[in-house]
């Protein structure tokens, strides 16, 4: 009489018997953006550095002021000498300039893989009855029209093929804000412009159906950047820096690198099935109703 083998005595199949996993992205231990050509508007120093460190062949840094671009170019040349870094000074809402930088990238490298539309302004902090129509239009022009123009020309270029890029595809990423998802997170013009950015990328995702080009938005919460520097400086002077970010579950503000890492993921093939999304990078603020610890009762 034979005894039935116990479960832990059953023969397990060899690893060779497993079907091979289907993959659309490269090795997770290798450069995530190997050989890609990327354009960034609005400086985006943290993102530009991660793009270069992640293996981009070329990174275009674009801003309407040349204040820090040359220094940033020199920094990347020192840290990542194998990456071509180009700087272009122009207004991100200037249609001719946006078209020109996209065409320059395609002409030089035969491809465009990533466009990060990061330019933006906050505008004046004022009540609804005090908002100036010209100020409102300027915020919409810089924050929303610039994204529309970037999407218009960048996604068309991403559909082009060449010997170095045999198939259509690419990643378009725009900076929105938690203010585009929730009220009371910024001035009315700023909030409206960021809601428009989210709508633009979601609409673009459907209009680009079948092309392999993806469109997504990142929605940062309170991040220490050039735009928010006055707020952080004032808090430090008052000794209240610890209160920044107290409305989100993590209880702190973020640094630009934390947003940049999400952008790198969206730019990479690892996010190949992520499309038409608004990624909140806000410490959990938009996940629920904001509250201040110890103030519930």
Question: d(Cα 29, Cα 17) in Å, to the nearest integer?
Answer: 25
Summarize pLDDT for 223-254 with one digit per residue, the tens: 877 766 666 677 677 876 666 667 788 888 88
**Burial class of residue 234 (count of CB atoms within 10 Å of its CB; 0-12, 13-18, 19+):** exposed
pLDDT at site 127: 72
pLDDT at site 297: 47
Question: d(Cα 46, Cα 60) in Å, to the nearest integer?
Answer: 14
pLDDT at site 290: 66
Summarize pLDDT for 260-269 with one digit per residue, the tens: 999 999 999 9
Question: What is the rounded average pLDDT for all residues in the chain?
Answer: 88
CB atoms within 10 A of CB 171: 29
pLDDT at site 24: 67
Q: Where are the domains of the chain?
A: 37-125+132-223+255-281
* Residue 248, φ and ψ in degrees, nearest 5: -100, 155
Residue 246's Cα: distance from chain center in Å? 24
pLDDT at site 224: 76
Helix, strand and coil content of the chain, in percent to the nearest 5, comes to 40, 15, 45
How large is the C-alpha radius of gyration of the chain?
Answer: 22
- Say whether 153 is catalytic: no
Which residue in this structure is represented by tokens 């180009």?
86
pLDDT at site 259: 94
24-42 burial string, b = 16+ CB within 10 Å, else e? eeeeeeeebbeebbbbbbb
Query: Which stretches of the chain score pLDDT less than 50?
Result: 296-297
pLDDT at site 222: 85
Residue in 139, 253, 165, 271 with CA at minimum distance from that of residue 217: 271
* Residue 223, φ and ψ in degrees, nearest 5: -120, 140
pLDDT at site 291: 64
Answering whether pTM is above 0.85, one says yes
CA triplet 158, 161, 162: central angle to 5 degrees?
125
Question: d(Cα 189, Cα 264) in Å, to the nearest integer?
Answer: 28
pLDDT at site 238: 80
Question: d(Cα 102, Cα 111) in Å, to the nearest integer?
Answer: 9
The domain 37-125+132-223+255-281 is placed in CATH, from the list 3.10.150.10, 3.50.50.60, 3.30.70.360, 3.40.50.720, at 3.40.50.720
* Residue 60, φ and ψ in degrees, nearest 5: -100, 120
Catalytic residue among 109, 153, 190, 273: 190
Which residue in this structure is represented by tokens 């209240």?
240
Question: d(Cα 127, Cα 221) in Å, to the nearest integer?
Answer: 21
In contact, 235 and 24? CB cutoff 8 Å: no
pLDDT at site 6: 60
């Amino acid at each position: 009489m034979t005894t039935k083998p116990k479960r832990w005595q059953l023969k397990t199949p060899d690893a060779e018997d497993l079907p091979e996993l289907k993959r659309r992205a490269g090795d997770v231990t290798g450069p995530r953006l190997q050989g890609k050509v990327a354009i960034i508007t609005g400086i985006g120093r943290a993102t530009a550095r991660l793009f270069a460190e992640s293996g981009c062949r070329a990174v275009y840094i674009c801003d309407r002021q040349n204040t820090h671009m040359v220094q940033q170019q020199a920094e990347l040349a020192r840290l990542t000498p194998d990456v071509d870094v180009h700087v272009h000074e122009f207004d991100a809402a200037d249609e001719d300039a946006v078209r020109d930088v996209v065409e320059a990238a395609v002409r030089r490298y035969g491809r465009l893989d990533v466009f990060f539309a990061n330019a933006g302004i906050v505008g004046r902090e004022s009540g609804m009855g005090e908002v100036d129509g010209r100020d409102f239009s300027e915020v919409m022009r810089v924050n929303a029209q610039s994204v529309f123009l970037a999407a218009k020309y960048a996604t068309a270029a991403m559909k082009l093929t060449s010997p170095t890029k045999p198939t259509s595809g690419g990643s378009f990423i725009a900076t929105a804000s938690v203010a585009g998802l929730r009220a009371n997170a910024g001035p009315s013009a700023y909030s409206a412009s960021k809601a428009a950015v989210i709508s633009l990328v979601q609409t673009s995702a459907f209009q680009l159906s079948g092309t392999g080009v993806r469109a997504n938005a990142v929605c940062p919460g309170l991040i220490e950047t050039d735009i928010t520097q006055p707020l952080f400086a004032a808090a430090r002077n008052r000794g209240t820096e610890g209160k920044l970010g107290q409305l989100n579950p993590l209880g702190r503000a973020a640094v630009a690198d934390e947003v940049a890492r999400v952008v790198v993921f969206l730019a990479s093939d690892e996010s190949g099935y992520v499309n038409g999304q608004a990624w909140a990078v806000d410490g959990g603020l938009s996940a629920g109703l904001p509250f201040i610890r110890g103030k519930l009762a």
